[in-house]
Amino acid sequence: MARSYRPALARRSTLAALLIVGLSTALPAVAADDSNEKEHLAAVVRQLDLLDRLAKQSAATASQERARYHFDYTRLTADLQRMRAGINDYLTPQRAQPRAPAALQGDYRQDSEQEPKK
């Protein structure tokens, strides 16, 4: 049997390999230092940006032939965006905004004959 070369399959395999290698090398298991962790996570965000661009290019050049299976680039892009947002939220957490203070009544004395003021 002769094998036919499928560029779409090669593109998908390359994209998956890049994702696996990029994520596995960017986060070593011994990153105990907080600054190292932030640097590594920033590198992961840059690699996710690269993967997103590659996915968009691959989606634009993907063949439209009817095949039994096709790669879902839209779902990949959404997952990459979700990972990027999660890492960015961790790297730059939103600080709670100060609340407007409620006025205090300040009258804590109560005569035993009077009803409490409301």
Q: How far is it, in rounded angstroms, from Cα 16 to Cα 104?
A: 60
The SS3 assignment for 40 reads helix
**What's the mean pLDDT when you consider all of the chain?**
76
Please state, as a whole number, how many other Cβ atoms lie within 10 Å of the Cβ of residue 5.
Answer: 6
Average pLDDT (48-52) is 93
> What is the model's pLDDT at position 76?
87
> What is the model's pLDDT at position 110?
59
Q: How far is it, in rounded angstroms, from Cα 109 to Cα 107?
A: 6
Find which of 40-44, 100-104, 106-110 is predicted with most confidence, using mean pLDDT: 40-44
pTM comes to 0.53
